[in-house]
A and B are shown apart, each in its own frame.
Chain A
Amino acid sequence: MDKTVNQKAWFLVLPVFLVVAFSAVLPLMTVVNYSMQDTFGNNQFFWNGVGWFKELLDPSTDLGGRFLASLGRNLFFSLVILAIEVPLGIVVALSMPREGWTVAACLVILALPLLIPWNVVGTIWQIFGRPDIGLLGYVLNAMGFDYNYVANEFDAWVTVIVMDVWHWTSLVALLCYAGLKSIPEAYYQAAQIDGASRWAVFKAIQLPKMNRVLLIAVLLRFMDSFMIYTEPFVVTGGGPGNSTTFVSIELVKIALGQFDLGKAAALSLVYNLIILIVCWIFYTVMTNAGVERKVQASSEPAVEPKPSAALKPVPALEPREGVA
């Protein structure tokens, strides 16, 4: 809005452009190049056109079958963890203590899993879930469950999902908490005066205010879970069989395990395209939210809240009437 047009700003952006282009554009061009060729080793390449892509999208071939199966597993995984992490994250955010040293303590403990190297996250759960030396596996087996994530597909899935919930629910919770904190106290006071129930407060005040952060959380979690690699790889290695082989694991198997450059490159491009589409949605949402934020920021000057801010709660609470 109030930004001035200045083409010289490109000079300021140039370093970023060069660094990222070096790491992104050059490798991506290699990928495009490979995706059209076949190799029999010795650096000899043969033109293959769109052959790999055809094979990739055809479930009857080996490559296509593997790709589509891992894609399906990955989508299922993403949906399951979203269905668990988002509600759980909201509940945890709502359970945050209000003030005092406990707030900081909770924040730090919540953030702890987010800062652990991903392979160590895998290692932690690998150890924790083992029936012989891990607390979880031991207790479950002692209780009579035949739990073994190495041999049983269902147990492997449960382990990978619980691990992801453990690893990333905090992110949803922290984002929601940040959203909750931005709600002015006046909203709650108005709700109290109106005698609104807790549920009404949640539905009419907290949820709408968390909308934006929730959207960010869902999209971030979707994208990150869609490209998950290290954690399940360390815990299950993609097994038993192929039951927890997600797209990234399949890709690395083909690219670095078999050195099937053409196939891997074609898979990479399709994979990247999916991410790019989701990313575009994410970007649109975020920039719209950014505009909203700037409008809000400009309407309230740096000083104390204006009278209009105190009046705002009333319209925000209107939907309450039906509930109360």
Chain B
Amino acid sequence: MHSIPGRRLIMGLFLVFLLLPIYWLVNMSFKTNSEIVSTMTLWPHTPTLQHYQRIFTDESWYSGYINSLQYVILNTIISISVALPAAYAFSRYRFLGDKHLFFWLLSNRMAPAAVYALPFFNLYSAIGLFDTPWAVALAHCIFNVPLAVWILEGFVSGVPREIDETAFLDGYSFPRFFIKILVPLIASGIGVAAFFCFMFSWVELLLARTLTSVHAKPIAAIMTRTVSAAGMDWGLLAAAGVLTIIPGALVIWFVRNYIARGFALGRV
């Protein structure tokens, strides 16, 4: 009753549609450049690891991954730690301007990154954070903090109020209650929120590229620049692309049941 006739076929076709372009990228990353340019082959006839080797040995390449991971992790930590108390406050209390504040947060999640690119560039240059992981991490807070607040608010609301009240009656102070009781209770929610912060920071390029020049350049920017300078090294580009997909693909298993919730800002 849940499903429709021919569902296996539809699902199968759609999954093929999703996987085919990705397969092509993976396929190309294992080919030699001469094979890519000269013939159309459905799988690598002379498989090679040279592109991956180059990325892992050339500092200008692998430092890009390290830079990206640095700001992504920084951003996740900042986002979650400021969002946790706020999520609790929004879930449990009413206070002056709470609804407006919530809307304001959401509006920042939706603001186009292109609008902020230039002012961020000025702002972070002025305070001397330009070209550091901190600049990108703070800039990405603009959409990740609201997201984390929304997701966590949903999870905190799932914790019965009685637990708070009992804890306070038992003489727990607020910080102690928060760390010892609430955080373990919503651990899965924190995991989900962290995953989504990680992800949205990882996939974003415009701000990350604008706010860095040399030392903190993310892998995404290195991909777009180096490749055009080297006269289109397709195999290398494909290999670099494959490596950016891997982190997401690895952790997705753990949040598969919360994916919809995360994308809908905790509202499903």
Excluding A95-B14, A255-B118, 13 further A-B contacts by CB distance (< 8 Å) are A5-B94, A9-B95, A15-B81, A16-B105, A26-B123, A27-B119, A27-B122, A31-B115, A95-B11, A112-B249, A120-B223, A166-B17, A178-B260
**In terms of DSSP, what is the predominant structure of the interface of chain A?**
helix
In A60-112, the 8 Å CB interface with B consists of 88, 91-92, 94-98, 104, 106-112
Chain A residues lying within 8 Å of B223, measured Cβ to Cβ, are 119-120, 123
In A275-315, the 8 Å CB interface with B consists of 275-276, 278-280, 282-283, 286-287, 289-290, 294
Point out the residue from A30, A175, A201, A268 that lies within 8 Å of B268, measured CB to CB. A175
Given the contacts A94-B4, A115-B245, A283 and B18 also touching, CB distance less than 8 Å: no
Given the contacts A104-B256, A138-B40, A256 and B118 also touching, CB distance less than 8 Å: yes
Asked if A22 and B138 make an inter-chain contact with CB atoms under 8 angstroms apart, the answer reads: yes
Asked if B10 is at the interface of the complex by the 8 Å CB criterion, the answer is yes
Given the contacts A10-B96, A124-B22, A175-B263, A276 and B11 also touching, CB distance less than 8 Å: no
Chain B residues lying within 8 Å of A2, measured Cβ to Cβ, are 161
Chain B residues lying within 8 Å of A26, measured Cβ to Cβ, are 119, 123
Measured in the bound complex, the distance between the Cα atoms of B168 and A4 in whole Å is 15
User: Taking CB as reference atom, which chain B residue is nearest A275?
Assistant: B110
A-B contact list, 19 entries, CB within 8 Å: A5-B95, A12-B86, A20-B141, A95-B3, A107-B256, A109-B18, A110-B15, A110-B18, A115-B249, A133-B234, A166-B17, A166-B21, A171-B263, A217-B264, A229-B114, A248-B114, A252-B206, A264-B118, A283-B107
Asked if B256 and A95 make an inter-chain contact with CB atoms under 8 angstroms apart, the answer reads: no
Asked if A116 and B11 make an inter-chain contact with CB atoms under 8 angstroms apart, the answer reads: no
Asked if B113 is at the interface of the complex by the 8 Å CB criterion, the answer is yes
Chain B residues lying within 8 Å of A286, measured Cβ to Cβ, are 265, 267
Chain B residues lying within 8 Å of A223, measured Cβ to Cβ, are 110
Number of interface residues of A (CB under 8 A): 110
User: Taking CB as reference atom, which chain B residue is nearest A187?
Assistant: B1
Asked if B244 and A9 make an inter-chain contact with CB atoms under 8 angstroms apart, the answer reads: no
Hey, which bits of chain B sit against chain A, CB under 8 A? 1-8, 10-11, 14-15, 17-22, 24-25, 28, 36-37, 40, 42, 78, 81-83, 85-86, 88-90, 92-96, 98-99, 101-108, 110-123, 138-139, 141-142, 145-146, 149, 157, 161, 199, 202-206, 210, 220, 223-224, 234, 237-238, 241, 244-245, 248-249, 252-253, 256-257, 259-261, 263-265, 267-268
Asked if A6 is at the interface of the complex by the 8 Å CB criterion, the answer is yes
User: Taking CB as reference atom, which chain A residue is nearest B17?
Assistant: A166
User: Taking CB as reference atom, which chain A residue is nearest B12?
Assistant: A95
Point out the residue from B108, B110, B263 that lies within 8 Å of A20, measured CB to CB. B108
Measured in the bound complex, the distance between the Cα atoms of B157 and A198 in whole Å is 36
Asked if A157 is at the interface of the complex by the 8 Å CB criterion, the answer is no
Interface centre among A106, A123, A192, A265 (most CB of B within 10 A): A123
Asked if A324 is at the interface of the complex by the 8 Å CB criterion, the answer is no
Asked if A192 and B1 make an inter-chain contact with CB atoms under 8 angstroms apart, the answer reads: yes
In A108-159, the 8 Å CB interface with B consists of 108-120, 123-125, 127-128, 132-136, 138
Asked if B83 and A16 make an inter-chain contact with CB atoms under 8 angstroms apart, the answer reads: yes
Interface centre among A12, A98, A135, A201 (most CB of B within 10 A): A12
Asked if B111 and A272 make an inter-chain contact with CB atoms under 8 angstroms apart, the answer reads: yes
**In terms of DSSP, what is the predominant structure of the interface of chain B?**
helix
Asked if A96 and B3 make an inter-chain contact with CB atoms under 8 angstroms apart, the answer reads: yes
Asked if B20 and A283 make an inter-chain contact with CB atoms under 8 angstroms apart, the answer reads: no
Hey, which bits of chain A sit against chain B, CB under 8 A? 2-10, 12-13, 15-17, 19-20, 22-24, 26-28, 30-31, 88, 91-92, 94-98, 104, 106-120, 123-125, 127-128, 132-136, 138, 166, 169-171, 174-175, 177-180, 188, 191-192, 198, 201-202, 213, 216-217, 220, 223, 226-227, 229-230, 234, 247-249, 251-252, 255-256, 261, 264-265, 268, 271-272, 275-276, 278-280, 282-283, 286-287, 289-290, 294
Interface centre among A20, A107, A127, A213 (most CB of B within 10 A): A20
Asked if A275 and B111 make an inter-chain contact with CB atoms under 8 angstroms apart, the answer reads: yes
Asked if B244 and A117 make an inter-chain contact with CB atoms under 8 angstroms apart, the answer reads: yes
Measured in the bound complex, the distance between the Cα atoms of B199 and A3 in whole Å is 32
User: Taking CB as reference atom, which chain A residue is nearest B40?
Assistant: A138
Asked if B2 and A3 make an inter-chain contact with CB atoms under 8 angstroms apart, the answer reads: no
Asked if B93 and A6 make an inter-chain contact with CB atoms under 8 angstroms apart, the answer reads: yes
B206 to chain A, nearest CB (A): 6
Asked if B105 and A177 make an inter-chain contact with CB atoms under 8 angstroms apart, the answer reads: no
B237 to chain A, nearest CB (A): 6
B3 to chain A, nearest CB (A): 6
Asked if B114 and A9 make an inter-chain contact with CB atoms under 8 angstroms apart, the answer reads: no
